[in-house]
């Protein structure tokens, strides 16, 4: 059985106002072809399908068109969970209709945790099955919101909240995986197949301890106090593979190669521009079916009961993004180099020269006038330093984010350093609760 792990599509995301539908469409076309070429049996999408809780019509069109194409391919199953950027009710709304395409959607935690346990049948048309008729059992755990896993109590400290969040995540996975183990036992018992092994594969969307991030990747802190202490030991050992989403850098969790982030498929910002993007191909029983590693990074690990092979497949770059930092001469030299390459890159340029250049935008626009490159952002460091040092009167909220405004408030009211940690944690909790509101729910 072959499974493809992807996540963090963020369909509809813009780059400094520039629509990116061409990139998203090209990625989804590539993904569909990869599924067909590799003869993938199941696709896992580990959250953040869309960039916002109210995606545009174009973003929705890309999503549903892709699902229809995959539904008509060799891929027998698609499992989608919600991430922290997704609206649970929006993702869940068409789930009964999508079941006709063998697409399983889990947007939020329900009272019946059995809803998160999905049995992947070899033949989805047959309702009565035993162990021989099952490919795998999926624990489709969506993004766990604070209210899903923690009861608020008066007088709690930040450490109390963090501990209860970790305990809540651990308990949730233990319960769902236990239900999956019971299903597996019943299936094997009914078929009298004691030696038949059905893999348990879990999904999740969270931030694990030691996880790698990059500047400008848009990853929001998921938990109060920037909690990043969910270690691999939180997850039950009976999970054969855990497909995670949220972090945009492809990586394994600690030394556990079977617990992995595949990362985002396209760069979400210039911090990711030079990063090689991946999807992860997992194969059970590799000694039978084999796999051609071609030019992909190949890693093999041993599962709990049977061997599995993990292959990272590189996603092509669909739109070049280049960040240029330096003096005016440095910038012109890099632009000339890109023009010789006939590049169509989207540029972020940061001027760090010693001279103040007030007409930098005009100069740089002229430098690329005879090319197909686009300047998406210019950072004039010298002008910015002067503005910040003099606290210019023309500074607006557009120049700041919410965190900047909060820090300015602390400074304006001379809040002592010893009080800032508690106030900042409370502020983060409020912001997190705003992000978690499902605006589509009724």
User: Which domains does the chain carry?
Assistant: 2-314 (3.60.21.10), 321-436 (3.30.160.720)
Calpha distance 87→66 (Å, rounded): 19
What pLDDT does 237 receive?
Answer: 92
Task: Starting at the earlier edge strand, list the strands of the sheet with 321-326.
Answer: 321-326, 346-351, 374-380
What the block records as the tokens of 188 is 């094997």
The 3-state DSSP class for residue 249 equals coil
For the chain, what is the mean pLDDT?
A: 85
Which of 18-22, 59-63, 412-416 is predicted with the least confidence, judged by mean pLDDT? 412-416
Per-residue pLDDT tens for 389-424? 444 445 555 556 677 778 878 777 677 877 777 778
254 phi-psi bin (left φ>0, alpha ψ -120 to 50, beta other): left
332-349: average pLDDT: 96
Calpha distance 329→351 (Å, rounded): 10
What pLDDT does 47 receive?
Answer: 95
Instruction: Tell me the percentage of the chain whose pLDDT exceeds 70.
Output: 82
Q: 199-214: b or e for each residue (b if 16 or more CB lie within 10 Å)?
A: bbbbbbbbbbeebebb
297 or 437: which carries more pLDDT confidence? 437
Per-residue pLDDT tens for 180-195? 999 998 888 876 655 6
Q: Between the CA atoms of 90, 95, 96 and 101, what dihedral angle is there, to the nearest 10 degrees?
A: 140
361-385: average pLDDT: 87
Strand partners, 260: 243, 252
Per-residue pLDDT tens for 234-272? 999 999 999 999 999 999 998 889 999 999 999 999 999
Q: 358-384: b or e for each residue (b if 16 or more CB lie within 10 Å)?
A: eebeeebeebbeeeebebbebebebee
C-alpha 175, offset from chain centre? 24
- Is the pLDDT reported for residue 129 higher than 50? yes
Instruction: Tell me the percentage of the chain whose pLDDT exceeds 90.
Output: 57
- Is the pLDDT reported for residue 287 higher than 70? no
Per-residue pLDDT tens for 147-202? 888 877 787 787 888 888 889 999 999 999 999 999 998 888 876 655 678 899 99
Rounded to two decimals, what is the model's pTM? Answer: 0.84
What pLDDT does 233 receive?
Answer: 86
Calpha distance 113→178 (Å, rounded): 11
pLDDT confidence of 229, banded at 50, 70, 90?
A: low
Calpha distance 427→421 (Å, rounded): 10
pLDDT confidence of 226, banded at 50, 70, 90?
A: very low
């Amino acid at each position: 059985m072959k499974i493809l792990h992807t996540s963090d599509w963020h369909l509809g995301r813009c780059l400094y106002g520039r629509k990116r539908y061409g990139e998203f469409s090209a990625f989804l076309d590539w993904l569909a072809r990869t599924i067909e070429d590799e003869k993938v049996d199941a696709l896992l999408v580990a959250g953040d399908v869309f960039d916002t809780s109210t995606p545009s019509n174009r973003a929705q069109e890309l999503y549903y068109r892709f699902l229809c194409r995959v539904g008509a391919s060799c891929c027998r199953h698609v499992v989608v969970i919600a991430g922290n950027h997704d609206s649970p009710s929006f993702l869940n709304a068409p789930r009964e209709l999508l079941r006709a395409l063998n697409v399983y959607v889990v947007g939020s935690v329900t009272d019946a945790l059995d809803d998160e346990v999905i049995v992947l049948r070899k033949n989805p048309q047959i309702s009565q099955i035993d162990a021989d008729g099952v490919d795998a059992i999926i624990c489709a755990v969506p993004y766990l919101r604070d209210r899903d896993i923690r009861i608020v109590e008066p007088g709690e400290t930040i450490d109390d909240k963090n501990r209860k969040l970790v305990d809540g995540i651990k308990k949730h996975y233990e319960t769902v995986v236990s239900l999956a183990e019971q299903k597996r036992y019943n299936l094997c018992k009914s078929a009298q197949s004691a030696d038949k092994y059905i893999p348990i594969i879990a999904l999740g969307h969270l931030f694990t301890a030691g996880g790698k991030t990059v500047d400008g990747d848009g990853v929001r802190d998921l938990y109060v106090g920037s909690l990043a202490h969910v270690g691999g030991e939180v997850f039950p050992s009976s999970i054969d593979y855990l497909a995670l989403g949220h972090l945009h850098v492809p990586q394994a969790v600690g030394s556990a190669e079977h617990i992995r982030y595949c990362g985002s498929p396209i760069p979400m910002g210039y911090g990711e521009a030079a990063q090689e993007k991946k999807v992860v191909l997992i194969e059970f029983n590799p000694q039978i079916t084999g796999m051609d590693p071609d030019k992909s990074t190949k890693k093999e690990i041993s599962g709990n009961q049977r061997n599995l092979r993990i292959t990272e497949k590189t996603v092509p770059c669909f739109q070049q993004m280049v960040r240029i930092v330096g003096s005016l001469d440095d910038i012109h030299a890099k632009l000339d180099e890109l023009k010789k390459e006939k590049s169509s890159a989207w540029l972020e340029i940061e001027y760090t020269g010693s001279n103040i250049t007030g007409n930098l935008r005009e100069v740089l626009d002229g430098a690329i006038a005879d090319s197909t490159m686009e300047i998406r952002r210019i950072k004039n460091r010298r002008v910015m330093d002067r503005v910040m040092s003099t606290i210019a009167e023309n500074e607006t909220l557009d120049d700041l984010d919410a965190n900047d405004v909060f820090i300015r408030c602390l400074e304006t009211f001379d809040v002592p350093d010893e009080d800032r940690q508690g106030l900042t944690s409370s502020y983060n909790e409020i912001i997190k609760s705003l992000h978690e509101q499902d605006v589509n729910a009724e």
